[in-house]
A and B are shown apart, each in its own frame.
Chain A
Amino acid sequence: MKPIAYLPVFPGTNCDYDTAKAFRVAGAEVCTSIFRNLTSQDVFSSIDEMRDNIDRCQILVFSGGFSAGDEPDGSGKFIANVINNHVIADAIHALLDRGGLILGICNGFQALVKSGLLPYGRLGLVTEDSPTLFRNDVNRHVSRMVTTKVASVSSPWLSSFHLGEEHTIAISHGEGKFVVSDELAQSLFDHNQVAFQYVDNPNGSSFNIEGIISPDGHILGKMGHSERWEPGLFKNIPGNLCQPIFRNAVDYFSSTPNT
Chain B
Amino acid sequence: MDYRIYVEKKPRFRVEAESLKRELNESLSLAIEDLRFVNVYDLFGFSAELLEACRYSVFGEIVTDTVTDSYEIGDRKYLAVEFLPGQFDQRASSAVDCVHLIEPDAEIDIRSSRLLVFEGDVSDSDLQTIRHYYINAVESREKDLSVLSNKLDVDVRPLASLSGFTAMEVGEYEDFCKKWGLAMNADDLGEVVTYFLKEGRDPSETELRILDTYWSDHCRHTTFTTELTEITVDESFMKREFEESLQLFHRLRKELGREKKPLCLMELATIGARYLRKIGKLDDLEQSEENNACSIFINVDVDGNTEKWLLQFKNETHNHPTEIEPFGGASTCLGGAIRDPLSGRAYVYQAMRVTGAADITKAVAETLHGKLPQKVISSKAAQGYSSYGNQIGLAATHVREIFHPGYLAKRLEVGAVVGAVRADNVRRESPAAGDVILLLGGRTGRDGIGGATGSSKEHTEESLESCGSEVQKGNAPEERKIQRLFRRPEVTRLIKKSNDFGAGGVSVAIGELADGLDIYLDRVPVKYSGLNATELAISESQERMAVVVESKDAEAFKAYCRRDNIEVTHVADVTDSARMRMYFHGTLIADLSREFIDSAGARHFAKAHILPVMPYTEIKREGCPQLTAIDQQAMIEMFDSTIGRSTVLMPYGGKYQKTPVQVSVQKLPVDGFTNTASIMAYGFDPYLSEWSPYHGAAYSVIEACTKIVCAGAEWGNMRFSYQEYFERMTADSWGKPLSALLGALRMQVELGLPSIGGKDSMSGTFEDINVPPTLIAFGITTVDARDIISPELKRSGSLLYLVRHSPDANQMPDCDQLRQNWAFVSRMIKDGRILSAWALDGSGIEGGLTMMAAGNGMEYRLIEADCELTIPFGSMLVEANSQLDSPNAILIGEVKGCSVDSPRMKD
Contacts and interface: CB of A to CB of B under 8 A. Distances in A.
Q: Which of A127, A134, A225, A231 is most buried by chain B, counting CB atoms within 10 A of its CB? A: A134
B748 interface: no
B399 to A, nearest CB: 10
A78 B97 contact: yes
Most buried by B among A11, A234, A235: A235
Contacts of A65: 391, 393
A243 interface: no
A162 interface: no
A126 B790 contact: no
Nearest to B107: A40
B61 A114 contact: yes
A241 to B, nearest CB: 11
Interface stretch (A53-61, A139-147, A185-193, A210-218): A139-147
A153 interface: no
A123 B43 CA distance: 28
B523 interface: no
A12 interface: yes
B657 A237 contact: yes
Given A35-B565, A72-B39, A228-B645, A14 B59 contact: no
B618 to A, nearest CB: 32
Interface of B is mostly: mixed
B673 A71 contact: no
B390 A127 contact: no
Contacts of B64: 74, 132, 134
Nearest to A142: B637
Interface residues of A, number: 69
Given A14-B480, A78-B97, A126-B62, A145 B645 contact: no
Contacts of A134: 13, 15, 64
B646 A68 contact: no
A9 B563 CA distance: 12
A256 B833 CA distance: 50
B648 A233 contact: yes
B667 A232 contact: yes
Contacts of A69: 90, 94, 391, 475-477
Contact of B642 (A85, A132, A228, A238): A228
B643 A15 contact: yes
Nearest to B677: A232
B390 A141 contact: yes
Given A72-B39, A228-B645, A235-B788, A144 B637 contact: yes
A231 B786 CA distance: 9
B638 A237 contact: no
Nearest to B14: A135
A18 B101 contact: no
A110 to B, nearest CB: 10
A81 B101 CA distance: 7
Interface residues of B, number: 83
B657 A43 contact: no
Given A72-B39, A72-B58, A144-B637, A78 B565 contact: no
Contact of B19 (A21, A139, A230): A139
Nearest to A126: B62
B317 interface: no
A68 B477 contact: yes
Most buried by B among A71, A170, A230: A71
A126 B640 CA distance: 31
A230 B673 contact: yes
B648 A68 contact: no
Contact of A78 (B7, B98, B383, B655): B98
Residue among B98, B383, B659, B671 with max Cβ neighbours from chain A (10 Å): B98
Interface string A69-85: 10111100110111011
A40 B104 contact: yes
A71 B95 contact: yes
Contact of B659 (A11, A36, A233, A236): A236
Given A15-B643, A42-B565, A82 B94 contact: no
Contact of A68 (B97, B383, B671): B97
A140 B390 CA distance: 12
Tell which of B12, B15, B564, B655 has the most Cβ of chain A within 10 Å: B15
B16 A139 contact: yes
A40 B647 contact: no
B650 interface: yes
Interface in A100-151: 114, 126-132, 134-135, 137-145
Given A127-B62, A235-B788, A236-B855, A66 B649 contact: no
B657 A137 contact: no
A100 B653 CA distance: 39
A134 B12 CA distance: 11
20 contacts: A11-B565, A15-B643, A17-B669, A36-B565, A38-B567, A43-B104, A69-B476, A72-B98, A72-B112, A73-B91, A77-B57, A84-B57, A128-B63, A135-B13, A135-B15, A140-B634, A232-B648, A232-B785, A233-B647, A234-B642
Given A71-B91, A140-B634, A232-B675, 18 more contacts: A18-B643, A36-B562, A37-B101, A37-B565, A40-B100, A68-B97, A72-B95, A78-B94, A114-B61, A132-B64, A134-B15, A141-B390, A141-B639, A142-B637, A172-B640, A232-B648, A234-B648, A236-B855
The 3 closest A-B pairs by CB, nearest first: A236-B653, A14-B393, A236-B790
